[in-house]
């Protein structure tokens, strides 16, 4: 099956230098089943991007367009460094397009073709990173459906990224299949995607990633791909291959990893991609484990070619694997039972495919179905309320508090607390309830949600800031660590600009008595707020005026560059968007469809006198909603109290400049 056609209708005549909307094409990077990828210059944002122009046959299919835009926007919200960031998507000059970060690297397919097997340590280091991307997507309700080496990019220092989220789902939904084109490469398709019994959910991605792991170890896909009927039949009925067979340099423990990850029945596979990665890590010999850690530690995000690094003060994008569940080790699936009806059905389907010449990938996920479905058969009972990966007793260590620039607060000392947690994962989400049993650094209780590979808890209380009491957001973010603990940061943020942060480390000390802890399965689902679309880097400009006339006094017009992070309460109705930059910080609180700025601070007037400045402003949510928010506009009033300065109005804008 040809997966990369040479040309396609609607894009003939495009060459380096051609214009497509506000993009100027520079060079063709590659051709795929969905379209061509160009290195292009975004003349509006003045940056280089990877621009995927889709085949013309997709442009007229409204169902495909709607699903593509919905999934691409959802993927664009994933704050996981191993997902290639999507800047925007849409249609321009009759072409559907996806604008992505330009990665300086090579796809894994090219690496395997040119260099052969990666070796166990490199293979595991790569799989760990892609597993992080998949876990983040699965927790957000996204299934990739096309995990394969051609969709994995290896950048500098072997930093691995996964791309093309949403394309396979959109094509499946619209039933766009034809000769010479498949929704997924057959070498990596799970049996349930080929008609075998079973719900098509996130475990199809785990099967595909296991196939990729096998290929990285051996240099070949699990089943020969030269004969389409044969490879389909192999996925359905053939024994699972053993990577160590005839390859003494591959530890035999990988045979068990591949056997479980490629189990014919979804319920017999690993529950998450992170669990697969952790099992692969354990399969390495000790020297190879150390090598894999070295490779993983040396990976760095492949930033836009020639572009700037992340904003100063932004947290490092370091991947940490989800630890193996504390309640047991790897389970080897039982011996496969021959199902004559399944074999006969598989053979009949293969014959039909060959005769008709059209590939139909069955059991697609439709718009009226959830994107990630939990198993419903009696062989997969609902998990207990305490079966999630964040369950146990923990010792929490918080570092000394520092300001937004990392300068230690005078007199602040590290502290220690004790915590109890219980968690559960159902369908596409994980929730944990946590209670502090000693200490007073943070809130006495949190409800955590797993968002983008991290556990995030957000709450509010009141605090003293710059001479007055005000609301305070308390944000605790934790990422799973290889030792089964958690590490992250604690942020204390107020609308008046007071800000403190400290490192946080949770070390698991044992099991937990859940008495008095709320059942995480009984928590209301987390509501995603539109305010979460305000993130990344922005250029801000504020212009003061009096009586409608722009001011000319010093400081009447100011420009600044900011990094922005947004955290929301689980209800989604109230959020803190914190903007920080070299010239200071600016907090915005989101509620009722708009951000507000309400701050007060001591100041002196250039023309004489000291007093207080009180600022209030409103920044309505852009309509229609943007994701990410590219242009935010606000208006407000700055009052001068106790000085010879006079009040003024102001208009403020924030324009997005990058991730």
What is the distance between the alpha carbons of residues 540 and 631, in angstroms, rounded to a whole number?
10
| Nearest partner of 35 among 95, 82, 90, judged by Cα | 95
The Cα 250–Cα 218 span in angstroms is 9
Residues annotated within a binding site: 52
Contact 442, 491 (CB under 8 A): no
Residue 633, beta-bridge partner list: 653
Helix (H) or strand (E) holding 472: strand 468-480
Alpha carbon 603 to its chain centroid, in Å, reads 42
Active site residue 146: yes
How far is the C-alpha of 226 from the C-alpha of 1, rounded, in Å?
9
Residue positions forming the annotated binding site for ATP: 52
How many angstroms separate the CA atoms of 639 and 546, rounded?
A: 12
How far apart (Å, rounded) are the C-alpha atoms in residues 287 and 481?
20
Inter-helix orientation angle 286-298/120-139, to 10°: 60
3-state class of 524 per DSSP? coil
In angstroms, the CA 148 to CA 183 distance is 12
Q: Using the 8-state DSSP alphabet, how is residue 408 labeled?
A: B
Strand ranges in 56-194 using DSSP code E only, listed in sequence order:
86-92, 95-101, 106-107, 152-154, 160-162
107, 146, 500, 627: the active-site residue: 146
- Give the phi and the psi of residue 34 in degrees, each rounded to 5: -95, -25
Q: Which two tokens stand for residue 474?
A: 């308390």
Owner of token pair 């942060």:
501
- Label residue 27 exposed, middle or buried (CB < 10 Å: 0-12, 13-18, 19+): exposed
Contact between 161 and 152 (Cβ < 8 Å)? yes
> Catalytic residues, which ones?
146
């Amino acid at each position: 099956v040809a997966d990369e056609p040479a040309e396609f209708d609607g894009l003939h005549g495009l060459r380096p230098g051609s214009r497509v909307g506000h993009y100027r094409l520079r060079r063709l990077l590659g051709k795929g089943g969905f379209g061509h990828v160009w290195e292009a210059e975004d003349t509006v944002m003045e940056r280089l991007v990877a621009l995927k122009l889709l085949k013309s046959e997709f442009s007229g299919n409204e169902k495909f367009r709607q699903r593509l835009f919905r999934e691409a926007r959802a993927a664009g919200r994933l704050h996981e460094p191993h997902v290639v960031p999507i800047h925007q998507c849409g249609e321009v000059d009759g072409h559907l397009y996806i604008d992505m970060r330009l990665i300086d690297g090579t796809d894994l397919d090219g690496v395997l073709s040119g260099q052969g097997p990666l070796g166990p340590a490199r293979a595991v280091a790569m799989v760990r990173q892609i597993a992080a991307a998949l876990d983040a997507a699965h927790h957000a309700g996204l299934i990739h459906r096309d995990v394969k080496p051609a969709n994995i990019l290896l950048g500098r220092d072997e930093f691995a990224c996964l791309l093309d989220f949403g394309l396979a789902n959109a094509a499946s939904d619209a039933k766009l299949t034809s000769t010479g084109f498949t929704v997924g490469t057959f070498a990596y398709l799970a049996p349930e995607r080929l008609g075998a019994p079973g719900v098509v959910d996130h475990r199809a991605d785990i099967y595909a990633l296991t196939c990729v792991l096998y290929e990285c170890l051996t240099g070949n896909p699990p089943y020969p791909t030269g004969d389409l009927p044969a490879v389909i039949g192999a996925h359905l009925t053939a024994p699972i291959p053993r990577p160590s067979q005839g390859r003494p340099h591959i530890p035999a423990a990988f045979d068990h990893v591949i056997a479980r990850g490629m189990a014919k029945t979804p319920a017999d596979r690993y529950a998450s991609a992170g669990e697969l990665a952790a099992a692969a890590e354990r399969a390495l010999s000790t020297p190879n484990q150390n090598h894999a850690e070295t490779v993983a530690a040396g990976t760095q995000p492949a930033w836009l070619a020639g572009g700037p690094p992340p904003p100063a003060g932004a947290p490092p994008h370091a991947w940490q694997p989800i630890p193996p569940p504390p309640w047991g080790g790897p389970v080897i699936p039982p011996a496969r039972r021959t199902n004559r009806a399944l074999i006969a059905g598989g053979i009949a389907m293969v014959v039909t495919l060959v005769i008709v010449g059209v590939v139909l990938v069955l059991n697609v996920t439709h718009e009226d179905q959830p994107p990630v479905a939990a198993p419903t058969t009696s062989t997969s009972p609902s998990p207990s309320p305490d079966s999630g990966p964040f369950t146990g007793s923990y010792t929490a260590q918080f570092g000394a508090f520092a300001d937004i620039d990392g300068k230690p607060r005078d007199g602040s000392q590290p502290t220690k607390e004790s915590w109890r947690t219980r968690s559960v994962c159902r369908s596409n989400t994980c929730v944990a309830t946590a209670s502090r049993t000693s200490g007073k650094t943070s809130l006495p209780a949190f409800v955590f949600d797993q968002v983008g590979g991290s556990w995030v808890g957000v709450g509010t209380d009141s605090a003293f800031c710059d001479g007055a009491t005000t609301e305070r957001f308390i944000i605790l973010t934790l990422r799973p660590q290889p030792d089964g603990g958690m590490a992250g940061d604690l942020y204390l943020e107020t609308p008046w600009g007071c800000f403190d942060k400290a490192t946080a480390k949770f070390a698991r000390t044992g099991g937990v008595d859940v008495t008095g802890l709320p059942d995480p399965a009984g928590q209301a689902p987390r509501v995603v707020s539109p305010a979460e679309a305000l993130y990344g880097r922005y250029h801000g400009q504020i212009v003061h005026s009096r009586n409608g006339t722009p001011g000319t006094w010093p400081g009447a017009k100011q420009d600044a560059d900011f990094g922005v992070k947004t955290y929301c309460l689980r209800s989604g109705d109230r959020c803190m968007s914190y903007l920080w930059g070299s010239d200071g910080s600016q907090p915005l609180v989101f509620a009722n469809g708009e951000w507000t700025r309400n701050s007060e601070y001591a100041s002196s007037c250039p023309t004489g006198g000291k007093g207080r400045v009180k600022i209030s402003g409103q920044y309505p949510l852009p309509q229609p909603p943007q994701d990410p928010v590219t242009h935010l506009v606000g208006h407000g009033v700055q009052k001068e109290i106790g000085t010879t300065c006079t009040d003024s109005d102001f208009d403020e804008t924030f324009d997005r400049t990058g991730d």
